[in-house]
Each structure stands twice: as C-alpha cells, then as structure tokens.
Chain A
Amino acid sequence: MSSYAADFIKQKYEELDQSSDENYTTITIRLAPKDVLMLKVIAKGLSFPVSTAFTKILSMHAYDMVMGLHDDDFRDFLKKHYRYDELDSYWLKEMVSNEMLDRPKFPGFDLPGMDKP
C-alpha cells in the first residue's frame, strides 16, 4: 500500500474516531458575530463542517499550551494527567513521540520522582 493510501486510511480512522461519542463531545462556544459569520461562509465555500473544523486544531493548541505552562503548573498537570488512560490524547502522544515522556506502561504507572496528589 502506498503511503498516500495509508495516510488516507489513517485520516478515515481519525474521522471515525471523532464521530464516536465515547471519545469526543460537542460543546457550545460563543464568538463575536464577525467570526461566526466568517467561519460559516469559509466552511460553506470550502465544503467542510464547522463542528469538526477545530477538533484537531484544538488538540494542537492544548498541546502547545501545556508545553508553555509555568514550571509549577506543568508539574501539577503531569501529576493529575500523566496516566495510562490518557494514552489516546494528542498531547501525551506528542510528548511520547518527542521522547519528552516515557509511555505510561500500565494503569497506575507513574513517572519516577513524581508524587501523586
């Protein structure tokens, strides 16, 4: 299978995953009218749904924001969220693939030297 085809299937998996109620939820966000109206015309013109337009983008923003946290806040974040059941999260996948963190090996696996709250 070519890498293009493999990427296509990977993308379909992601889309399928996004439609699953188990891993995703829909929230309502209020924006300035200028932004909502512009978003709607861009979405209509380029034929993409508004509701899932930001799903991946927000994952990347969340990762960037965690990466920019003040040190104490980052330590608190890891204490609370570095868990086996977060393995599907974008931020943890990125940090593991960047070799910043080890992959949590099993439920209850903590980073050495990190005290749980």
Chain B
Amino acid sequence: MEDFEKINQKRKALANGESLGNQALDYFYSKRDRVGKSDQGKNKSLSINVRVSKHDLEVFDFLAEILKEPRASIIAKLLSHDVKAMFNALDMAERTYLAELVDAELTKQNFKHEFRDGTWFWDVAEINQDAYNPVNHKTWDIIRENFKK
C-alpha cells in the first residue's frame, strides 16, 4: 500500500480544512460517534428540487454509509450553510430588505420565528442582537434594577 500512503500524503497537503465540506464532515463524524446522537427536535421543513451530478450522488451515498446519516440530511446541512453564505455575500441594502421580506413571509405562513418575531432580521440588526446577549448585560442589569425602585 505504498502508493496509497503517497496519495494520502498528497491529499493531506492539498485538503482545505476550512472548507464547508470539511467542517460538515467533522460535524457528521463527531455526531456519528456521539452517544444519543439526536440534534434538536424535528422542525417544520419545505422541500426544493436540486439538480445533482450522478457522480456526486455516489460520493454522497458513500458518505451517508460511513457517517450513518441519511444522504439528504448531509446535503441539507451543506445547503443550509450555503443559503446563509449566499445571504451574507449580498450587499447591505439587499440583505436588509430581503431579511424583512422573508421574515414577513415566515410570519404570513405561520412558521415560528427564531427569536422575538424575527429570524433573518437578527442577521442584519447586529447592534440589537448584541443588546440581547446576556454577556453585554452587566450595566443593563444594574439600570434595570434601578427602574424597579
């Protein structure tokens, strides 16, 4: 297996540890090896059709087998991160308006928001988001107590 070792060394030199694929792989490896592996409970979902190369599907089938995870679940994890990456790649104005648009649609379709009637909104409202982080509450807690007096 000398040839495999040579190939494997080249692979390690070329692999991009920062790639989403690599991070997803680490996540699924650790999820496979965890006891009581379920993530958070099942949430509502919507479906989309995705065109995929049959060669790539063979790769995802292989990954599904070794990671003991449904193929669709692996692909969904990647796509979810990609949607976020697409959103983050938009300019500020588009991010803000599309966040408002999608949050309104989530409300209209009776989907639960992630936090305080907003979902994507919190990705563009960085200052407000920080305000709700308990780490930043040291002074606010004192002031809030003063209000009660």
Contacts and interface: CB of A to CB of B under 8 A. Distances in A.
A99 B7 CA distance: 9
A30 B20 contact: no
Interface string B48-90: 1111111111111011001000001001101110111011001
A29 B50 contact: yes
A81 interface: yes
24 contacts: A18-B51, A24-B52, A24-B53, A25-B54, A31-B48, A34-B114, A36-B45, A39-B86, A41-B98, A42-B87, A61-B24, A64-B15, A65-B22, A67-B11, A67-B21, A68-B25, A68-B26, A71-B8, A74-B8, A78-B4, A86-B58, A111-B3, A113-B2, A114-B1
A30 B56 CA distance: 18
A54 B20 CA distance: 14
Most buried by A among B8, B19, B82, B102: B102
Interface residues of A, number: 64
Interface string A57-74: 111111111111111011
Contacts, number: 218
Interface of B: 1-4, 7-8, 10-11, 14-17, 19-22, 24-26, 29, 43-60, 62-63, 66, 72, 75-76, 78-80, 82-84, 86-87, 90, 94, 98, 101-102, 105-106, 109, 111, 114, 119-120
In terms of DSSP, what is the predominant structure of the interface of chain B? Answer: helix
A1 interface: no
A37 B106 contact: yes
Nearest to B59: A62
A99 B24 contact: no
Given A24-B52, A39-B86, A76-B66, A70 B29 contact: yes
A59 to B, nearest CB: 5
B103 to A, nearest CB: 9
Interface of A: 18, 23-39, 41-42, 45, 50-52, 54-55, 57-71, 73-78, 80-81, 86, 88-92, 95, 98-101, 111-114
Contacts of A69: 25, 66
Given A54-B52, A55-B50, 15 more contacts: A24-B53, A27-B49, A28-B72, A29-B47, A29-B49, A30-B72, A34-B111, A38-B98, A42-B87, A64-B20, A64-B25, A65-B25, A75-B8, A89-B56, A91-B59
